[in-house]
Amino acid sequence: MSRSARGNISRVLAVLCGAVLLAADRLTKLYIMDNFTLGETRAFLKGFIDLTYIHNRGGAWGMLSGKTYILLPFTAVVMALCVWLYIKYGKKSPLLLWAVSLVLSGGLGNMLDRAFRGGNVVDFLHFEFFPSFPVFNVADIAIVTGAGLLILYFLLDGLKEKRESGNDKA
């Protein structure tokens, strides 16, 4: 299989994965809202994860709680920045496309909640073994994974540039 064909397959899979994660985020949130009362907790994977239905009015770890007027535009700017990064730097990088797809799907999932649920994001996954860790959702997992991949992309890109500049001097 040619490099171009592999790149095309990777692009399709990254976009498809983003769409599947967005759908999973929406469906799991609907399930929780329909089957739990606000504040209710049920064991999911005993000793590991509980399902706890809460509303988060802030960003990560509840920061900027109640500041939807800041969080919505901030999310839109981050998502636009991701698209710009991909257009400018990533058309030849499957890693950057995967990172952007994950950040966009997660950002959109939480943005839809914020916009249509009065600033509330539905969170429900809680580590039982780490009680002080915030309750989170599928969108949060996508965002954090995508951000990690973005960091990895820039680290690898920096190493590549350093290696290439070292070869130019030789």
Place of tokens 């600033």: 119
Q: In angstroms, how far is the first alpha carbon of the chain from the final one?
A: 34
- Residue of 59, 81, 56 lying closest to 70 (CA atoms): 59
140 flagged as catalytic: yes
| Diameter over CA atoms, the chain | 67
One-letter amino acid at 27 equals L
Q: What is the DSSP letter of 170?
A: -
Question: For the purposes of burial, counting CB atoms within 10 Å of the CB of 138, is it exposed (0-12), middle (13-18) or buried (19 or more)?
Answer: buried
Which member of 25, 123, 157, 168 is catalytic?
123
CB 32 within 8 A of CB 53: yes
Q: Catalytic: which of 25, 34, 140, 157?
A: 140
What is the sign of the dihedral through the CA atoms of 156, 88, 110 and 64?
positive
Catalytic annotation present for 168: no
Residues forming the active site: 123, 140
